[in-house]
Chains A and B, each alone.
Chain A
Amino acid sequence: MTNMTAGKRRKTLASLVFSLSLVFVSACSGNNGGNGGGSATSASPSASNSASPSSSAETVQAADPFEKYEPPIEITTVRSTSARFKFLEGESLDNNAWSRAYENELGIKVKNVWTIDEAQYQNKMNVTIASGDLPDLMFVSPAQFQQLLESEQIEDLTAAYDRYASPFLRKIMEQDANGLMKKAATIDGKMMGITGFGSIEQGTSVIWLRSDWLKEANLPEPTTFTDVLNIAETFAKAHPGAYGIGLNKDLFGGLATIEGIANAFHAYPKTWVKDASGQLVYGSVQPEMKQALTALQDMYKRGLIDKEFGVKDGNKIAEDIMNNKIGLLYANFWHPLWPLQEAMNMNAAGGMSWKPYPVLSADDQAASPSTNIPVTGYYVVRKGYEHPEAAIKLANLQLKNAWSDEAQAEIYNTDKDQTPFYLYPTISMEPPSKNLEAGIAVTEAYMAKDPSKLNEEQKGYYDNVVAYLDNGDIKSFGNALIFGPGGSETEVLKKYVEGNRMKIGEFYGAPVPTQQMKQATLDKLELETFTKIVVGESSIDEFDSFVEKWHKLGGEQITSEINEWKAAH
């Protein structure tokens, strides 16, 4: 008898759990298509003056890029924030110069549904998408862009762009950087988003070396890679506790990397470049990489590289730089700001000084620095939002107020207290070459002692240069060594760009299917193999078996998928 009642009880429990899960299922059935972030469906934008009267699809009559919505409309979005965000007294992300500009000039009320620290942005974005709560406008990664495309949840912006894009926006998307921005966002002839983009030259390697040590050693400035090695060796010998060349444990990544060294041998690791036949191949498995690794192995054996580099990350490298242990390293153009600035704060009194050099070659063919196309993500509009052109207008306004000739930089970019207004806009774009232009302009202005032609941002850098070079103000070292004479922009990046010397990785899409599955394993294999070779644990011939393994474990498949992608783009 007890068994029967126990059985009955079990059944009740089971049905309870089952019905609960049914509740869950039905609650989630509204997943697809998005519920809309509560954007106010006010009257349609004023169609009176600028609407194209004819229905012909060929001539899309351009409308006013800054046409104001009467009555105002609302657009919801989400934001990633960080410790960088600072506001004026009484202001916030919802209430500042930009939010007011959007409302007053465009009639758009931007509603930030949530903000989150950038470290968790991806997670929050994913749960938001998964729970069906798409905001009207959002910035997504290339992978998320791909997914949203597949599930058809984002709006086609082609018509909106054609009608409303301002000339400045068009220039940036279609002309700058070889029109890559528009290309990257165009799928099957339709523009599905606005590309988030950096600058192509920002990722190139730059040699930074201690010019005070160089002078002490009475050596000439380096012009070849052999010079670099000599200098590194001299540095290590002359300064006890120091090693010649800095290297971080991940081998790549910006600070103290092997990229520039590989470039010396015409190897382009971690980039997809064209081979002789025009196909895209992966730089890390090309024969030139073997030469680069041989050189690195030799350098390690000779003591030019820190014996403990295998456990040191960027922070530890910064420590070593500050403690006078590194005299030479391959880094990026902006590293004077950090950690070199900190190093100078500590050691400038002792004579520390730095100078940048372009990557140098190990043979008589000039070295090309490798870099990748910096697509950071896309601004997309959810499908079904009534005013997709609002996104275009937001971009128009941001470019006008921050970058155009009508720009009012002290209100919209930054003021003398360095309040970062430039972080607030909902859609944020900048001319890809703005840093290079700044470097050139500031250097010219300094030489001529005439800052009149500079914009607000550039004037700030100009002040830094003057402060550092003329007045010895160490705190201004960072920007001075980037934008001033002898800085990385004019000394190195300018040469790269004007000499067309960069080897630009050509793949900028979302990871291809096999990459999604195998990339992590291949990366681990690559890093392990390279590290073991450098420290001498494996012989250089390991490289050949690595290449074979790489191809077998999925590399071959990935290569063909990437070339398929290339054919379609």
Chain B
Amino acid sequence: MDIKRGMRRELPFHLMVWPGLLAVLIFSYVPMAGIVIAFEKFIPSKGIFASKWIGWDNFRFLFEQPDFAQIIRNTVVIAVAKIIAGLIASIGFALLLNELGRAFVKRAIQTLVYLPHFLSWIILGGILIDILSPSTGVVSWALGLIGIDVPFFLGSSSWFPFTLVLSDVWKEFGFGAIVYLAALTSIDPTHYEAAVIDGANRWRQTWHVTLPGIAPIVVLMVTLSLGNVLNAGFDQVFILLNPSVMDTGDIIDTWVYRMGLVNAQYGLATAVGLFKSVISTVLIVSSFMLASKFANYRVF
């Protein structure tokens, strides 16, 4: 009896979930069976279930690459730097914007900074190469005015990752801030009122109301971005990569791409994808457990 009433009470929830779950079962889970490709020498004409099974060979091949350590390191360094810098930029921007009063200016700025998201790297790559050219670029000219010796941003191994991260942050911070702006608007105004009554100035309000108010979303975004530590941004790196900076700029995805040029390497590509997925899952599950154990916060 108790179970029945419980089920009746929960029925609406199940009913709400199932349409979405069905879509996901059909379009995400069924194709997932194709992950077996990672363990095959996959030939399109043979199909998924008749290609030769080679077990871990694709993975072994990946790990035995002479530059495997280098690619992994580059990927993680670039991806993590982008995540951290991106978060700081987006959150910082959202907080700074939140302080402004003039609605029109606020909206204008908000719109303008989210526009670079819509430019493709094919176009931006060309622009970057231009403005960063040590001889003719505008950035170099500006730095020269202050008397700084201009490095070859895109042509030197030591500067290349930095350039990648900075330009990517510039492109995406506006779009990334949308979530935080939404979070800021959702903070209950009465909390601010209470703080003001208690005599808090804007800094203390930020510390005691704003930051805690968006903390859940920040934790959420951090957790989810952990799933991206192996995605350093193929489109951008592909356009800007050149032989002089391979040792710090070559990432997993560009490497897989080059493999695929010689011969469509679906088995290898799927293996790499699986490898990335496993790492992401481990990281996300760990942070989920950490958040729930130590902060008593369920991320999802």
Contact present for B262 and A515 (CB under 8 Å): yes
Task: Write the nearest CB–CB distance from B5 to chain A, whole angstroms.
Answer: 15
CA–CA, A122 to B47, complex, Å?
A: 16
User: In the assembled complex, which residues on chain B have CB atoms less than 8 Å from the CB atom of A5?
Assistant: 3
Task: Write the nearest CB–CB distance from B208 to chain A, whole angstroms.
Answer: 41
Number of interface residues of A (CB under 8 A): 51
CA–CA, A307 to B67, complex, Å?
A: 27
CA–CA, A130 to B247, complex, Å?
A: 36
User: In the assembled complex, which residues on chain A have CB atoms less than 8 Å from the CB atom of B244?
Assistant: 310-311, 531-532, 535
CA–CA, A565 to B246, complex, Å?
A: 33
CA–CA, A527 to B243, complex, Å?
A: 6
CA–CA, A328 to B132, complex, Å?
A: 25
User: In the assembled complex, which residues on chain A have CB atoms less than 8 Å from the CB atom of B3?
Assistant: 5
State whether the Cβ of B76 lies closer than 8 Å to any Cβ in chain A.
no
- Whether A528 touches B243, Cβ cut-off 8 Å, given contacts A21-B33, A315-B126, is yes
- Whether A32 touches B50, Cβ cut-off 8 Å, given contacts A20-B25, A147-B45, A553-B66, is yes
- Whether A31 touches B135, Cβ cut-off 8 Å, given contacts A122-B264, A535-B244, is no
User: In the assembled complex, which residues on chain A have CB atoms less than 8 Å from the CB atom of B46?
Assistant: 31-32, 147, 151
Considering the complex, which residues of chain B in the window 31-58 have a beta carbon less than 8 Å from any beta carbon of chain A?
33, 43-50
Considering the complex, which residues of chain B in the window 238-292 have a beta carbon less than 8 Å from any beta carbon of chain A?
240, 242-244, 246-247, 250, 255, 258-259, 261-266
Contact present for B262 and A31 (CB under 8 Å): no
Map CB proximity to B onto A227-263 as digits: 1 under 8 Å, 0 otherwise: 0000000000000000000000111000000000000
State whether the Cβ of B29 lies closer than 8 Å to any Cβ in chain A.
yes
Contact present for A126 and B261 (CB under 8 Å): no
Contact present for B246 and A249 (CB under 8 Å): no
Task: Write the nearest CB–CB distance from A561 to chain B, whole angstroms.
Answer: 14
CB nearest neighbor in A for B26? A20
- Whether A31 touches B48, Cβ cut-off 8 Å, given contacts A308-B155, A312-B129, is yes
- Whether A32 touches B47, Cβ cut-off 8 Å, given contacts A308-B133, A520-B261, A524-B246, is yes
CA–CA, A403 to B237, complex, Å?
A: 45
Contact present for B243 and A310 (CB under 8 Å): yes
State whether the Cβ of B296 lies closer than 8 Å to any Cβ in chain A.
no
CB nearest neighbor in A for B244? A310
CA–CA, A29 to B46, complex, Å?
A: 11
Contact present for B258 and A524 (CB under 8 Å): yes
Which of B48, B50, B263, B266 is A143 in contact with, Cβ under 8 Å?
A: B263
CA–CA, A29 to B50, complex, Å?
A: 9
Considering the complex, which residues of chain A in the window 122-163 have a beta carbon less than 8 Å from any beta carbon of chain B?
122, 126-127, 129-130, 132, 143-144, 147-148, 150-151, 153
Map CB proximity to B onto A3-47 as digits: 1 under 8 Å, 0 otherwise: 001000000000001001101110011011000000000000000
Contact present for B263 and A516 (CB under 8 Å): yes
Contact present for B44 and A520 (CB under 8 Å): no
Contact present for B129 and A511 (CB under 8 Å): no
CB nearest neighbor in A for B126? A315
Which of B29, B44, B45, B250 is A524 in contact with, Cβ under 8 Å?
A: B250
Which of A24, A122, A249 is B243 in contact with, Cβ under 8 Å?
A: A249
Map CB proximity to B onto A489-526 as digits: 1 under 8 Å, 0 otherwise: 00000000000000000000011000111011101100
State whether the Cβ of A566 lies closer than 8 Å to any Cβ in chain B.
no
CB nearest neighbor in A for B268? A517
State whether the Cβ of B154 lies closer than 8 Å to any Cβ in chain A.
yes
- Whether A17 touches B47, Cβ cut-off 8 Å, given contacts A143-B264, A531-B244, is no
CA–CA, A511 to B65, complex, Å?
A: 19
User: In the assembled complex, which residues on chain A have CB atoms less than 8 Å from the CB atom of B33?
Assistant: 21, 24-25
Q: Identify the interface centre among B3, B29, B46: most chain A CB within 10 Å of its CB.
A: B46
User: In the assembled complex, which residues on chain B have CB atoms less than 8 Å from the CB atom of A519?
Assistant: 262
State whether the Cβ of B134 lies closer than 8 Å to any Cβ in chain A.
yes
State whether the Cβ of A316 lies closer than 8 Å to any Cβ in chain B.
yes
User: In the assembled complex, which residues on chain A have CB atoms less than 8 Å from the CB atom of B264?
Assistant: 122, 126, 143
User: In the assembled complex, which residues on chain A have CB atoms less than 8 Å from the CB atom of B49?
Assistant: 25, 28-29, 31
State whether the Cβ of B30 lies closer than 8 Å to any Cβ in chain A.
yes
State whether the Cβ of B63 lies closer than 8 Å to any Cβ in chain A.
no
Contact present for B242 and A516 (CB under 8 Å): no
Contact present for A151 and B43 (CB under 8 Å): yes
User: In the assembled complex, which residues on chain B have CB atoms less than 8 Å from the CB atom of A250?
Assistant: 243
Contact present for A20 and B29 (CB under 8 Å): yes
Which of B48, B61, B135 is A307 in contact with, Cβ under 8 Å?
A: B135
Contact present for B44 and A20 (CB under 8 Å): no
CA–CA, A148 to B264, complex, Å?
A: 14
- Whether A511 touches B25, Cβ cut-off 8 Å, given contacts A308-B152, A310-B243, is no
CA–CA, A126 to B266, complex, Å?
A: 10
Contact present for A520 and B135 (CB under 8 Å): no
Q: Identify the interface centre among B45, B49, B67, B155: most chain A CB within 10 Å of its CB.
A: B45
Task: Sort A-B residue pairs by CB-CB distance and give the 4 closest, nearest first.
Answer: A31-B47, A531-B243, A130-B44, A129-B44
Q: List 21 A-B contacts (CB under 8 A).
A: A24-B30, A28-B49, A31-B49, A32-B47, A126-B264, A143-B264, A150-B43, A150-B45, A249-B242, A311-B154, A315-B126, A516-B263, A519-B262, A520-B258, A520-B259, A521-B65, A523-B258, A528-B246, A528-B247, A531-B244, A532-B244
State the B residues within 8 Å of A (CB): 3, 25-26, 29-30, 33, 43-50, 61, 65-67, 126, 129, 133-135, 152, 154-155, 240, 242-244, 246-247, 250, 255, 258-259, 261-266
- Kindly list 13 other residue pairs between chains A and B, CB separation below 8 angstroms, not including A20-B26, A147-B45: A5-B3, A20-B25, A28-B49, A31-B47, A32-B50, A144-B45, A148-B45, A151-B45, A307-B135, A308-B155, A310-B243, A527-B243, A528-B243
